[in-house]
Amino acid sequence: MTYIPNQNRYQSMQYRRCGNSGIKLSALSLGLWHNFGGVDVFENYRKTLHFAFDSGITHFDLANNYGPPPGSAEENFGKILYQDFKNYRDEMIISTKAGYTMWDGPYGDWGSKKYLVSSLDQSLKRMNLDYVDIFYHHRPDPETPLEETMAALDLIVRQGKALYIGLSNYETPEFEDALAILKRLGTPCLIHQPKYSMFERWSEESLLDSLEKHQIGCIPFSPLAQGLLTNKYLHGIPEDSRLARPTGFLTEDYATSDKIEKVKKLNEIAINREQTLAQMAIAWLLKDDRVTTVLVGASKASQLADSLKSLDNIYFEEYELKEIDEILKG
Ligand code: NDP
């Protein structure tokens, strides 16, 4: 069936400027790490992508290794792009990354120019694209000189294979070193992608200040702690959850009783705010305007529908923030 997007898709979404760039991103972005691979159900994730675009989500985040198997999320996304979104490519910000293991041997991992350039070429082929909007170095490489990695990112932009550059999982000192090199090369960094949620707050130590100072965007990943910061695990581990599935990276010890106790208390606050816990967890990130967009995952369209309602209330009273901090510290 031909897909016809919702004509009102831009009316309910909020768009936030990414640092001091020309780009605005939808307040929620959709990540394809899980649920879009070769092991997943095509019609289900196709529906999720339609729903996302129909709701005004413009940003879709991939990486070379997303699947499983690695590469399959890009292939599947490429198929749906071709089939349904051909006429809407210019309405989308599509990102991919390289930095984790992708192929055997010394050139399929980390941060060499050899790896980054060939990996992006492979990603473009898999997605059937001429360029991506954002290309990330996925994680810092302790062995390759930062100069080489940044020069590779600069080259990729000059070749027209990516419009913008992003960095992910870089801690502040190395991030600032990378920025200085990129600035000298003349290719600014558009955005940083850190792991950031109520359960993972290292970005608050200095990264967010650095991003503000340098006017660079921020796109927190795993904002729901992979599903833990939702009402999903309140009463055990459901069969259809990421924790129960064999293909993820989660083991049962991820949902410790200590964490579940905290989740239950956080859920009470969410109920008082007339939000689901997922909505509150996303709103809690968006309350900070240094955060450009929150990068959620979804195993079905209905989860995304729930998460999108976070935008109805991203305001927190001081006492709510204090209560949340107390629960998280406890
Ligand atoms: P989340 O923390 O948003 O977790 C998503 C999972 O939470 C879903 O798969 C689903 O779990 C559950 N969920 C989502 N919404 C709801 C809801 N409203 N109610 C109940 N459960 C819900 O994010 P991810 O960990 O998936 O990460 C998001 C994206 O971030 C990735 O797709 C990727 O693009 C990026 N990322 C980047 C990394 C990096 O190193 N740069 C690393 C990891 C992720 P279930 O499947 O159990 O239904």
User: pLDDT digit string (tens) for 81-92?
Assistant: 999 999 999 999
> What share of the chain has pLDDT > 90, as a percent?
92
* CATH code of the domain in which 99 resides: 3.20.20.100
Neighbours of 156 (CB within 10 A): 22
* 315 pLDDT more than 90: yes
Please indicate, yes or no, if residue 54 is contained in any of the structural domains: yes
Please tell me the distance between residue 34's alpha carbon and the centre of ligand 1 in angstroms: 7
Please indicate, yes or no, if residue 268 is contained in any of the structural domains: no
Domain count, the chain: 1
* 204 pLDDT more than 90: yes
Q: What is the pLDDT of residue 120?
A: 98
The answer to whether 275 and 267 have CB atoms below 8 angstroms apart is no
* 3-state SS record for 281-311: HHHHHHCCCCCCCEEECCCCHHHHHHHHHHH
* Burial track 238-247 (b if 16+ CB lie within 10 A, e otherwise): eeebbbeeee
Ligand 1 pocket, residue 298 CB under 6 Å:
yes
Please indicate, yes or no, if residue 147 is contained in any of the structural domains: yes
The protein residue with its alpha carbon nearest to ligand 1, atom 27, reads: 222
Ligand 1 pocket, residue 95 CB under 6 Å:
no
Mean pLDDT, residues 69-82 taken together? 98
Ligand 1 pocket, residue 282 CB under 6 Å:
no
> What share of the chain has pLDDT > 70, as a percent?
100
Ligand 1 pocket, residue 77 CB under 6 Å:
no
Ligand 1 pocket, residue 232 CB under 6 Å:
yes
pTM summary value: 0.98
Please indicate, yes or no, if residue 182 is contained in any of the structural domains: yes
Counting ligand 1 atoms within 8 A of each CB, the residue from 29, 230, 276 with the most, and so the one to mutate, is 230
Ligand 1 pocket, residue 29 CB under 6 Å:
no
Q: Give residue-wise pLDDT tens across range 5-41.
A: 999 999 989 999 999 999 999 999 999 999 999 999 9
Please indicate, yes or no, if residue 136 is contained in any of the structural domains: yes
Please tell me the distance between residue 228's alpha carbon and the centre of ligand 1 in angstroms: 10
| Cβ-proximal residues to 209 (8 Å cutoff; 6+ apart), any chain | none
Quick one: pLDDT band at residue 248, thresholds 50, 70, 90?
Answer: confident
Ligand 1 pocket, residue 278 CB under 6 Å:
yes
* 245 pLDDT more than 90: no
Please indicate, yes or no, if residue 262 is contained in any of the structural domains: no
Residue matched to tokens 């990068």: 295
Please indicate, yes or no, if residue 245 is contained in any of the structural domains: no
Counting ligand 1 atoms within 8 A of each CB, the residue from 123, 167, 221, 247 with the most, and so the one to mutate, is 221
Q: Give residue-wise pLDDT tens across range 155-201.
A: 999 999 999 999 999 999 999 999 999 999 999 999 999 999 999 99
Domain that holds residue 86: 15-227+285-300
Ligand 1 pocket, residue 67 CB under 6 Å:
no
Q: Give residue-wise pLDDT tens across range 276-310.
A: 999 999 999 999 999 999 999 999 999 999 999 99
Please tell me the distance between residue 296's alpha carbon and the centre of ligand 1 in angstroms: 5
Q: What is the pLDDT of residue 298?
A: 98
Please indicate, yes or no, if residue 65 is contained in any of the structural domains: yes
The protein residue with its alpha carbon nearest to ligand 1, atom 46, reads: 242
Residue matched to tokens 């027209």: 160
Quick one: pLDDT band at residue 239, thresholds 50, 70, 90?
Answer: confident
Q: Give residue-wise pLDDT tens across range 111-134.
A: 999 999 999 999 999 999 999 999
* 252 pLDDT more than 80: no
Helix axes 42-54, 72-84, angle to 10 degrees: 60
Please tell me the distance between residue 210's alpha carbon and the centre of ligand 1 in angstroms: 26
